[in-house]
Structure 1
């Protein structure tokens, strides 16, 4: 069993959308996938009922070791809440979405500190909601090199397919082959780091 945690101390960076799409991709490859919502806001829990092929489990059961699956993917809060250290302790890999913006990079400092305190060994930054041909993205990539967390090769671009994910059962229910390829590449890159 492998546990992937999607974490970032800044809200609005697309954690839940990435959890949904990565989980659906792994599920389509034949893996037994469970998703858990460690965010009190409950966005993942609210959408799980309308998504086919995903098994929502309680974060309590995950923390107690009661969930059996090939892959567990956990959505987290943008706050350092009481469950975060325990969730990070379970992580085989922590995916950190960062939007190309200076405030998003600044928030990464807190996330890196929390990962260091938790003793997280494997983590990677994914640039999310990237706008095409934007000089800011290049500048942010340079700023991210200052962190000890590696930046993954895959970038997730700003696409309507991601916004519509809960209505189309993820990007794989849409006709956006570019979005599908991005999620597939991201999932493969995560697997390479497990």
Structure 2
């Protein structure tokens, strides 16, 4: 079993949507599920309409003892008591980050937490909800490159289809969105 956790102590960076889309992108290739440990439970709330099994935080041990090939864990926008365990059991930690000045500052606390767990070797930052043709992304990327956690080569654009994806069970109808997810998924699987 491979476990990918999406962690960031800042809200509004697209953790839940990215978690859903990455899991959805693999649903035809392996046995996959999502564990929603965010107490808001946004993903858990859509479990009835999802083509991917979505479990509640209370089912962590059940999921860990299951025969899923891949588990994606969606975490809350704050550091909570069980996050140390999530870092420990994760094969890879993905830190979604919007390329903005406040996000650049906020991600430092998440990176510090990951370092305190001695998990920086299995973490990466992904630029998510990237505005097209925004020079700021390059400037932010330059600053973030000095942090101790690498950024992914691939990023995810700020496309409406990503936000709608939890209602439509994916982004397959949009070639650009699907290409971005395919590239990021491949990159993660090779880590």
Normalising by the smaller structure, the TM-score range is over 0.9
Shift of 1:63: 4.2
- Aligned residue in 2 for 1:13: 13
Shift of 1:66: 2.5
Q: 1:40-55 maps to which residues of 2 (within 5 A)?
A: 40-52=39-51, 54-55=52-53
- Aligned residue in 1 for 2:164: 164
Q: 1:1-194 maps to which residues of 2 (within 5 A)?
A: 1-28=1-28, 30-52=29-51, 54-63=52-61, 65-120=64-119, 121-172=121-172, 175-193=173-191
What TM-score do the two structures reach when normalised by structure 2?
0.94
CA distance in 2, matches of 1:104, 1:51: 30
| 2:165 match: secondary structure | coil
Per-residue displacement from partner, 1:12-58 (whole Å, max 9, x unpaired)? Answer: 00000111111011112x20001101111111111222122x01123
Per-residue displacement from partner, 1:137-161 (whole Å, max 9, x unpaired)? Answer: 1111111111111111111011011
CA distance in 1, matches of 2:107, 2:154: 18
CA contact (8 A) 2:44 2:56 kept: no
Consecutive unaligned residues in structure 1, runs of 5 or more: none
CA distance in 2, matches of 1:62, 1:70: 15
Q: Aligned residue pairs: how many?
A: 189
CA contact (8 A) 1:123 1:150 kept: yes
CA contact (8 A) 1:63 1:87 kept: no
- With 4-13 and 161-170 compared, the bigger mean Cα shift is at 161-170
| 1:158 match: secondary structure | coil
CA contact (8 A) 1:154 1:182 kept: yes
CA distance in 1, matches of 2:41, 2:135: 34
**Structure (1 or 2) with the greater strand fraction:** 1
What TM-score do the two structures reach when normalised by structure 1?
0.93
| 1:166 match: secondary structure | helix
RMSD: 1.2
